Amino acid sequence: MATPIILDCDPGTDDAFALLLALASPELEVLAVTVAGGNVGLECTLPNALALVALAEANVPVYAGADRPLLGAFVNETRVHGVDGLGGIGLPAGGAAASGVAADAIRAILRSAPRRVTLVGIAPATNLALALMTEPSLADRAEQIVLMTGAWGEGNATPAAEFNALNDPEALAVLLACGRPVVLVTLNLTAQALCTTERLAVLRRAGTSQCLARLCDIQATVPFGPRFGGTGAALHDPCAVAWLLRPDLFTTRACTVSVDLGPGPCRGRTVIDRWNRWGLPHNATVLETLHGDAFFALLGERLTRLP
Ligand code: BDR
Ligand code: CA
C-alpha cells in the first residue's frame, strides 16, 4: 500500500526535483501539495508548483499557503533559484489552485485520512506549524514529519543557519516539539547529493521524459557556489523524498535538536546534539550519510517514468 504524504514546498529549483520524484513514485500517494513563499515569493512559488504538477500530468490538489513566516518576512534566495524560482526556464502554466488555504487543507486531510499521513516539509515550516498549532491533537495523525532543514555545521543562508530554518525558526520549533517522529535532512546530508556537471549530464541521458529534460534545464541554471569549491550544487529537497523511497541509502542517528530563536547572528541555527552531551530525550532522527551515486540513479530511474 502506498504511503500517503502531504508535500509542503516553495519551488524552488530543488523543490521541483522533490515534487516530481514524489509524483513519479508509486510507493507514495501525494494527497496534496501545499505551498509557502520562501525561495521566492508565494506569487511565484504557487504557479511554479501548479506548473510542475501539470507537467507531470498529475491529479493532485495544490494549496496556497503562507506568504510570510510566523514572525517577520521571508528572505528570498533569487541568486540560487532565479527571480521566478525555477531558473527562468519558462514552464507552461498549470491549472488553478485548490480552494482554501494550506494549513486548513493539512488539518482536514489529517483529520479524515484513514491512515496516518507523512508530512514532508521542504520549505520554511510555516504551513505545517500553523496546521498543528491550530489543532495540536492532529499531530497524532502524522506518521512522521520529514524536514529538509538545519545543519549540524555551518549554515547556507547565514554562517549559523540553513535557509528553511532561518526563514521560520519558530515554526520549526513547533514541529520539533509536537511529539511525533521528526526526521531531519540537513545541509550536512544534502552535501552528499552534490549535483556536478557530470552527474547532471548522466541524469539528462537517463531517458526521454519531458519532465526530466525540464528539470535538468532548471538545474543547469543553478550557480555553483563557493561551498563546494565550484564543483557542484547540492540537490537538497529530493533527499527528503528519497528517504521515504530508499531508506537503505542513508545512515541515521537519534538526536536532541533545538533551534535558536534569538534575534542575533545565531537565529535559525539548529543545535544538534549528535553525541548526546545534553542527555535529553531525543526528538529527531538526523540523516547522516547518503549513497550519492545511488541517489542520482534513483532520480534518473524515477523521473524517466514521467511524461
Ligand atoms: C533549502 O533552502 C531552499 O533554498 C531549498 O529549496 C531547500 O529547501 C536548502 O537550504
Ligand atoms: Ca525548498
Locate the ligand 1 atom nearest the alpha carbon of residue 156 and give its number: 10
Task: Give catalytic residue positions.
Answer: 236
Q: Ligand 1: which of 77, 154, 215 to mutate, most ligand atoms within 8 Å of CB? A: 77
Q: What is the DSSP letter of 129?
A: H
Cα distance between residue 226 and residue 73, in whole Å:
27
Taking only the tens place, the pLDDT of each residue in 132-170 is: 999 999 999 999 999 999 999 999 999 999 999 999 999
The CA angle 174-7-243, to the nearest 5 degrees, is 90
Angle, in degrees to the nearest 10, between helices 238-245 and 13-23:
20
What residue owns the CA closest to ligand 1's atom 10?
A: 163
| Residue 258, ligand 1, Cβ within 6 A | no
**% pLDDT > 70, the chain:** 100
| Residue 156, ligand 1, Cβ within 6 A | yes
Cα distance between residue 240 and residue 22, in whole Å:
10
Note every long-range contact of 198-207, with CB atoms under 8 Å and residues 24 or more positions apart, other chains counting.
Answer: 199/232, 199/296, 202/296, 202/300, 203/296, 203/299, 203/300, 203/303, 206/299, 206/300, 206/301, 206/303, 206/304, 207/300, 207/303, 207/304
Residue that the C-alpha cell 504511503 belongs to: 3
Any idea where the domains of the chain sit in the sequence?
Answer: 3-303
| Residue 219, ligand 1, Cβ within 6 A | no
The pLDDT, as a whole number, for residue 140 is: 98
Q: Is the pTM of this model over 0.95?
A: yes
Taking only the tens place, the pLDDT of each residue in 25-44 is: 999 999 999 999 999 999 99
- Look at strands 194-195 and 233-234 and give their pairing: antiparallel
Q: Ligand 1: which of 7, 9, 14, 195 to mutate, most ligand atoms within 8 Å of CB? A: 14
Residue 302's CB: how many other CB atoms inside 10 A?
24
| Residue 163, ligand 1, Cβ within 6 A | yes
Cα distance between residue 46 and residue 54, in whole Å:
12
3-303, CATH topology level: Inosine-uridine Nucleoside N-ribohydrolase; Chain A (3.90.245)
